[in-house]
Amino acid sequence: MDVTLPVAARELIDRFTSRQATVGVVGLGYVGLPLAVVMAEAGYKVIGVDLDPDKIAALRQGRSYIEDVSAGTLSRLVREGKLEASHEFSALAAADGVSICVPTPLRKTGDPDLSYIVSSTQALRPALHRGMVVILESTTYPGTTREMVLPELEAGGLKVGEDIFLAFSPERVDPGRVDWTTRNTPKVIGGITPACTQVAVSMYAAGMDNIVPVSSAEVAEMTKLLENTFRAVNIGLVNEMALMCDRLGIDVWEVIDAAASKPFGFMRFTPGPGLGGHCIPIDPLYLSWKLKSVKYNARFIELASEINTNMPRYVVSRVQDALNQAGKALKGARLLVIGVAYKPNVSDVRESPALDVIGLLREKGAAVDYYDPFVPSIEHEGWGLRSVPDLEAAARRADCVIVVTDHASIDYRRLEEVAALIFDSRNALGAAGVRSEKVVRL
């Protein structure tokens, strides 16, 4: 161990190494709850804090509300006293380390809403004590940890890097995946000081297979934004390729398959009806917003966002064209949307393009139903719908079936047999869609 570390850091690292530490997790959603479970399984006592009384009640009963957390594992950890849940921040006074995993949405004006980070940090202050590390996991722009969290933590007189420790470690959760999980996805960690980094690394090392320390909190913050900007820009590129191929009468899916045969220099991305989820549609805009403060225009990000944001309208226009070809008007048409989750095989509808597609179709006078085996009901901007109980019957009634999210459990070949017309925005039918005269592909 580095002898130049402050005494408080050395003592804290010893507690993490010996598994005698208590870890707190603020925000028990799709990031925080899996993290709390991993930490509890690593041998720490874990205290989870969330202001949602339903979540706290569920956790105290050992019930999981997150698909990636098994009810069996959760109930065992609760029963053994390794995982506790509370709505009181005062419970964190016993914690040696606290991870903050709260939402960071965008306001309608396009600027970051960091109110959850601010309120969580302020609520944590009375529980803060010498020999504690605080790690922010919520995605945000570079500088947030140092400029916003640090002053709040130091307001009580404790010094970051000497008495208490502060770091940023971006969440990298991809809901629904079983190959890459909270435990085995490499964990990037950047502290305010080198001592902060070492302390944070020691806390996470017990539960994570691969730790990636970096030189600062800002590097860690920027790392997360690069990851999701990379995806957003490349999805924007392939979405524009789909628009160009449509104009040229070329099958974009065949083009992508052919390009993907190259074993180097190409990474496969696929077009679709728009971006969804909390990260990819939002995170790059954090960076774009931040750069405006230094008089820099993030042109790639802005252009990709413009293309991706307009994809739901493009889908609606293509559906309208397909109905016209079939001799039907969009106004008054009965439509069935397949899948409203933002990606396959999950129940998460945050920022889902399906919500925009349905809203636009309704605005144009269509009667819209949806089917999603993972999402029983949706509420969005003043309207609500429930998933139809019988997919095949609804598909038979519909003037057009629109595949927005390609869940694996759906029999697309059977869907093609019973539907009068299908608009396939995900190439869910594959070769069958190419051969069928009833299928129109993005």
Looking at the annotation, which residues are catalytic? 279
Task: Measure the CA–CA gap between 270 and 234, rounded to whole angstroms.
Answer: 9
Question: How big, in percent rounded to 5, are the helix, strand and coil portions of the chain?
Answer: 45, 15, 40
Q: At what angle do helices 283-292 and 299-325 cross, to 10 degrees?
A: 130
Q: In this structure, what is the dihedral angle of CA atoms 171, 176, 179, 184, given to the nearest 10 degrees?
A: 20
Q: For the chain, first and last CA: distance in Å? A: 57
> How far apart are alpha carbons 62 and 73 in whole angstroms?
9
CA gap 339, 42 in Å, rounded:
37
Rounded CA-CA distance 140/153 in Å is 18
Distance CA 384, CA 190 (A): 43
Q: Using alpha carbons, list the distances in angstroms from residue 214 to 6, 31, 78, 149, 392.
A: 20, 21, 34, 19, 52
Mapping DSSP onto H, E and C, the string for 18-80 reads: CCCCEEEEECCCCCHHHHHHHHHHCCCEEEEECCCHHHHHHHHCCCCCCCCCCHHHHHHHHHC
